């Protein structure tokens, strides 16, 4: 974690392209993210439809010319993806009252019997058709959501995010808090990186020992980083108060934006995608729909 | 006298959970339209007093508040901070910590938007402020990508645009280069001329000394002095003050001590030069090789005028390079030996493609005490981080003690190379000061008994004994700095790099740290100090080399005298040569050596026995 280069994060958050997707109204970008998440929830159990949604998001990233950056961001969640898939594959067969077809039986038992012999009887680890399907589907959900979120981050500037949220009538303090949280991610990483350097310069080896001691060493560095972040947050609050933040119930909105035809068209297209998701959810449609 | 726009009566304040109050009964009246410098040591209560004036204290901090603060006729207790913002603008010291929005235009307009000023008016006012500060080039940029100096300009603009009646600036120049400093001073003076009351909080009183109407010196939460600059210069001994004072006043005070008339004290540098020239009008050239008198400031008159013969460099070096006991130390490191550190055509680029170092070739030998300076972003810290492997050259190689260190991990190199980071909060992470001191020793596998012994010795010499069981986070800024310096020097590395060792310290604390570094240094070590302000180092007697960086390259290097007195370098860094050099140059026709950079040595030369006019004689 501490090896993350804050320059890279700055690069991700700082520079923006100039494609028609980048130029969309920030409100449309925010609504688009909401539509993609809503569609994803509609398709939670439908692998094929989810895969289609994922491809659609990748296609948009391609059109925006940010596909490499997006893949790099999705890679961050890969360990979580593996965990979700394995968790579903190996644990869902234990759900009682759900008829499942066993595909493989592995030559060892679940550990529950050894841990709680009174409660569990020995049973072999199995992979069922249903658990395999659900494992991959839940993994796909994660990839789709992270794909949508990463494309959103790559398309929107922090200023646009605050403006967009304000134009959507979200309270300004909340919008500003969201924006500042993103702005200060690279600074937090920069602090962490400097703190790690300061300890290495005093002979501390962050890569020494097993994973537990390495994790412990890294966590100890979080304390000064949190301290720095706290000081910075309180300074920003003082600076904002000193500039009349909260003096009037309704503040002036500096930027005035008009929705263009392209914005409306994109909104309609993506509303249609959600509509399709709702229909698939209601009528089964493609893929294998499973209900608990 | 104008009516008082700020009235403070018996103000006492203590932060929550603080052991002692920061302000201890302040009584102060500031008339409308004055330019006031509030100064004092670290922890004397300068910023706290400023925050009391705009209502941030006690609203945002809590704490124990007694007394009364009234600004523009409003009791600060009666209004919220955001309402007081209409009258009082506050520019904070660290620009990075005060930017609330990610785009320059929205940042500058932030206050006006909060006050619900009509959009068209906001656009007009922001446009005007861009022009007034000369920062049109920043339009459309993200505040996130700006340099620290640019961020500070945006922060100042965001307050000025609100047109407050009182403007408080807390150390506003500390992150700016000289050109930008001049611009800010010009704007602030313009505002003051137009009637705005200015409260200039700074440890460097030389920035505004000649323009100020009044100086308020805080001493441990109480007012130590309150009056005009001239009175301060006449009444107080600047040498013992914990603040950075104008060099020409230091010189004048030295001269007064040596018997010159008080007339020599002039608040402005120009006035000082003029007065000194008048007072030394009939001073004759003197031969510097004449033996020095025992007592400084003697006014005995020589019967014969002497011709001016400049001393050789070797003579000067022998004078300058003396150790603590006054004994001369070796004049120059032995450069015929193998260098201890070698930058061999080092180029370094960051992952985003920015090339921070460009083909650097430098050698440092045992006995080198080096100051590396230059503007922000010139590559100073990047250069230093190559020494212990925190950064690796993109091209070229780094050689330490004759070995290429390209594949040596930082943790291994750390045994022989100490590195002090600028911000102590980045370094201190152990529960107690004792653990902090032990940290490096334990990392290097030193046995427990030796660790205990070393901590004891170190705590003694760094005056940390009473702090050993305290948490580093509870300490004051200067105490934290002392702990970090001690935690590096405790393992006696042969090469030590200090990144801005005097940052955020007052003048006395900075001198203490420089003194600690100088005492540590000897002819077997290499000490590299990185500092953006070389003026802090003019008094150093150990410094023997200065390297000036510019845009990732070595701009100039040489011995301190050659660098401090070089007009090209000083104009590049500060817009003009040092005040002392300017005075020495103006007196060069009278036999004064023109290459001076210390007030003490120039005063010594001026007061050396020579024929002088009666004007100069003591009263």
Task: Give the pLDDT of residue B386.
Answer: 93
B410's enclosing H/E stretch is helix B410-413
Q: Where are the alpha helices (DSSP H) in chain A?
A: 6-14, 26-42, 47-64, 67-75, 78-91, 112-115, 129-155, 158-167, 172-200, 211-241, 261-283
DSSP E strands in B146-207: the ranges are 166-170, 197-201
* SS3 call for B417: strand
Whether the CB of A107 is below 8 Å from some CB of chain B: the reply is no
Question: What pLDDT does B302 receive?
Answer: 35
Question: H or E element: which one contains B513?
Answer: helix B507-520
Provide DSSP, B258-323: TT--GGG--SSHHHHHHHHHHHTTTPPP--TTSPPPSSTT--PPPSS-----PPPHHHHHHHH-B-
Report yes or no: A195 at the B interface, CB cutoff 8 Å: yes
Interface residue B348 vs chain A (CB under 8 A): no
- pLDDT tens, B443-473? 888 999 999 999 999 998 888 999 999 988 8
- The beta-carbon neighbor of B54 closest among A162, A235, A242 is A242
In the three-class reduction of DSSP (H, G, I as helix; E, B as strand; rest coil), residue B100 is classed as coil
B334 pLDDT tier (thresholds 50, 70, 90): low
What is the distance between the terminal CA atoms of chain B, rounded to a whole angstrom? Answer: 33
For residue B312, the model assigns a pLDDT of: 38
Contact B429 A195 (CB under 8 A): yes
Do A247 and B106 count as a contact with CB atoms less than 8 A apart?
Answer: no
pLDDT one-digit tens code per residue, A200-228: 888 877 766 677 777 777 777 788 888 88
Q: Which pLDDT value is given to residue A180? A: 81
Q: How far is B273 from chain A (nearest CA, A)?
A: 41
B130-138: average pLDDT? 89
Longest Cα separation, chain A:
70
Binary contact (A241, B60; C-beta < 8 A): yes
Rounded to whole angstroms, the Cα distance separating B102 from A176 reads: 10
A114 interfaces chain B, CB cutoff of 8 Å:
no
A235 and B CB contact within 8 Å: yes
- Residue A242 distance to chain B (closest CA, Å): 6
Give the best residue of A191, A194, A195, A198 to mutate against chain B (max B CB count within 10 A).
A198
Asked if ipTM goes beyond 0.90, one says: no
Distances in whole angstroms, Cα of residue A111 to Cα of each of A121, A157, B328: 10, 49, 78
Nearest by CB to B85, from A7, A195, A242: name it.
A242
- Looking at residue B383, its pLDDT comes to 94
B339-416+515-558: in CATH 1.10.10.10: no
Most confident of A235-239, B14-18, B482-486, B508-512: B482-486
C-beta of residue B440 within 8 angstroms of C-beta of residue B491: yes
Closest among A265, A267, A275 to A28, alpha carbons compared: A267
Chain mean position to CA B337: 35
Element (H, E) at B584: helix B579-586
Q: What is the pLDDT of residues B44-94, one digit of tens each?
A: 999 999 999 999 998 888 889 999 999 999 999 888 888 899 899 999 888
Contacts of A221 in chain B (CB under 8 A): 429
Eight-class DSSP state of B568? H
- Of chain A, the end-to-end C-alpha distance in Å amounts to 37
CATH 3.40.50.300 in chain B, residue ranges: 4-237, 339-416+515-558
Q: What angle is formed at CA A250 by the lines to CA A245 and CA A256, rounded to 5 degrees? A: 100
For chains A and B, count residue pairs whose Cβ atoms are closer than 8 Å. Answer: 200
- What value does the mean pLDDT take over residues B422-435? 88
Task: Indicate which of B142, B160, B504 best probes the interface with A, i.e. most A CBs within 10 Å of its own CB.
Answer: B142
How far does A150 lie from chain B, in Å, by closest CA?
20
Which fold, B4-237? Rossmann fold (3.40.50)
Measure the CA–CA gap between B275 and B265, rounded to whole angstroms. Answer: 8
Is pLDDT at B328 greater than 80 in this prediction? no
CA-nearest of B365, B369, B362, B361 to B317 is B369
* A183 inside 8 A of chain B by CB: yes
Give the model's confidence band at A138: pLDDT under 50 very low, under 70 low, under 90 confident, else very high.
very high
Min Cα distance A209 → chain B (Å) is 13
pLDDT exceeds cutoff 90 at B369: yes
Nearest chain A CA: its distance from B426 CA (Å): 5
- A200 and chain B: CB distance < 8 Å anywhere? yes
Instruction: State whether residue B505 is helix, strand or coil.
Output: coil
Of B116, B144, B385, the CB nearest to A183: B144
pLDDT for B496 = 94
Q: Which of B55-69, B204-218, B273-287, B471-485 has the highest mean pLDDT?
A: B204-218
Mean pLDDT of A140-168: 90
């Amino acid at each position: 974690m501490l090896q993350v280069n804050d320059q890279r994060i700055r690069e991700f958050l700082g520079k923006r392209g100039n494609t028609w997707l980048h130029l969309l109204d920030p409100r449309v970008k925010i609504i688009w993210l909401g539509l993609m998440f809503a569609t994803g929830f509609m398709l939670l159990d439908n692998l094929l439809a989810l895969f289609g949604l994922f491809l659609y998001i990748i296609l948009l990233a391609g059109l925006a010319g940010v596909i490499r950056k997006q893949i790099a961001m999705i890679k961050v969640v890969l360990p979580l993806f593996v965990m979700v898939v394995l968790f579903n594959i190996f644990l869902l067969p234990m759900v009682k009252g759900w008829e499942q077809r066993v595909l493989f039986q592995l030559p060892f038992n679940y550990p529950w019997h050894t841990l709680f012999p009174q409660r569990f009887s020995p049973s072999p680890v199995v992979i069922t058709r249903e658990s395999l399907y659900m494992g991959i589907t839940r993994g796909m959900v994660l990839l789709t959501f992270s794909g949508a979120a990463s494309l959103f981050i790559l398309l929107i500037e922090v200023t646009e995010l605050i403006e967009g949220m304000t134009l959507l009538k979200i309270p300004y303090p909340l919008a500003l808090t969201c924006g500042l949280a993103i702005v200060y991610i690279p600074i937090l990483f920069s602090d962490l990186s400097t703190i790690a350097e300061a300890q290495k310069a005093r002979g501390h080896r962050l890569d020494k020992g097993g994973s537990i001691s390495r994790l412990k060493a890294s966590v100890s560095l979080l304390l000064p980083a949190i301290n720095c972040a706290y000081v910075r947050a309180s300074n920003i609050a003082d600076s904002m108060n000193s500039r009349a933040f909260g003096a009037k119930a309704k503040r002036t909105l500096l930027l005035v934006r008009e929705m263009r035809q392209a914005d409306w068209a994109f909104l309609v297209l993506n509303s249609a995608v959600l509509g399709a998701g709702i229909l698939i959810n209601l009528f089964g449609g493609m893929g294998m729909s499973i209900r608990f | 006298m104008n009516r008082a726009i700020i009235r403070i009566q018996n103000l006492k304040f203590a932060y929550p959970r603080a052991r002692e109050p920061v302000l201890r009964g302040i009584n102060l009246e500031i008339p409308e339209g004055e330019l006031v410098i509030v100064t004092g040591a670290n922890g004397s209560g300068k910023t706290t007093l400023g925050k009391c004036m705009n209502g941030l204290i006690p609203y945002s901090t809590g704490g124990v508040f007694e007394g009364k603060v009234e600004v523009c006729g409003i009791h600060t207790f009666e209004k919220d901070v955001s309402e007081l913002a209409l009258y009082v603008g506050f520019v904070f010291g660290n620009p990075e910590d005060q930017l609330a929005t990610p785009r320059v235009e929205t940042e500058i307009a932030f206050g006006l938007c909060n006050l619900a000023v009509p959009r068209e008016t906001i656009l007009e006012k922001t446009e005007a402020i861009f022009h007034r500060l000369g920062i049109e080039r920043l339009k459309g940029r993200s505040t996130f990508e700006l340099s620290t100096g640019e961020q500070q300009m945006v922060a100042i603009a965001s307050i000025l645009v609100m047109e407050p009646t009182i403007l408080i600036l807390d150390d506003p120049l500390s992150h700016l280069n000289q050109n930008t400093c001049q611009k800010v001073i010009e704007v602030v003076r313009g505002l003051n001329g137009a009637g705005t009351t200015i409260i200039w909080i700074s440890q460097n009183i030389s920035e505004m000394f000649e323009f100020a109407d009044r100086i308020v010196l805080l001493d441990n939460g109480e007012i130590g002095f309150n009056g005009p600059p001239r009175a301060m210069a006449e009444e107080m001994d600047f040498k013992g003050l914990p603040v950075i004072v104008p060099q020409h006043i230091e010189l004048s005070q030295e001269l007064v001590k040596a018997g010159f008339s008080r007339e020599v004290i002039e608040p402005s540098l120009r006035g000082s030069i003029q007065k000194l020239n008048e007072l030394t009008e009939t001073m004759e050239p003197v031969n510097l090789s004449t033996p020095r008198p025992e007592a400084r400031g003697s006014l005995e008159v020589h019967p014969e005028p002497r011709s001016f013969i400049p001393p050789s460099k070797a003579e000067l070096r022998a004078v300058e390079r003396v150790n603590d006991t006054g004994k001369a130390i070796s004049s120059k490191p032995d450069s015929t030996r193998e260098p201890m550190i070698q930058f061999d055509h080092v180029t370094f680029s960051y992952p985003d493609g920015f090339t921070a170092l460009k083909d650097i070739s430098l050698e440092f030998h045992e006995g080198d005490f080096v100051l590396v300076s230059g503007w922000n972003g010139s590559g100073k810290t990047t250069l230093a981080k190559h020494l212990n492997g925190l950064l690796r050259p993109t091209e070229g190689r780094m050689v330490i003690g004759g070995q290429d260190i390209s594949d040596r991990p930082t943790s291994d190199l750390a045994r022989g190379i100490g590195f002090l980071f600028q911000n102590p909060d980045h370094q201190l992470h152990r529960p107690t000061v004792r653990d902090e001191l032990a940290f490096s020793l334990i990392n290097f596998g030193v046995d427990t008994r030796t660790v205990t012994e070393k901590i004891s010795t170190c705590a003694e010499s760094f005056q940390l004994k009473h702090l050993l069981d305290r948490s580093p986070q509870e300490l004051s800024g200067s105490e934290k700095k002392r702990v970090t310096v001690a935690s590096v020097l405790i393992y006696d590395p042969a090469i030590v790099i200090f990144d801005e060792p005097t940052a955020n310290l007052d003048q006395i604390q900075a001198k203490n740290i420089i003194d600690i570094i100088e005492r540590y240094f000897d002819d077997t070590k290499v000490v590299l100090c990185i500092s953006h302000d070389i003026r802090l180092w003019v008094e150093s007697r150990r410094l023997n080399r200065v390297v000036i960086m510019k845009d990732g390259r070595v701009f100039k290097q040489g011995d301190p005298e050659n660098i401090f007195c070089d007009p090209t370098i000083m104009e590049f860094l500060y817009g003009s040569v040092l005040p002392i050099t300017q005075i020495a140059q103006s007196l060069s026709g009278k036999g004064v050596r023109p290459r001076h950079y210390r007030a003490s040595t120039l005063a010594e030369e001026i007061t050396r026995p020579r024929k002088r006019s009666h004007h100069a004689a003591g009263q």
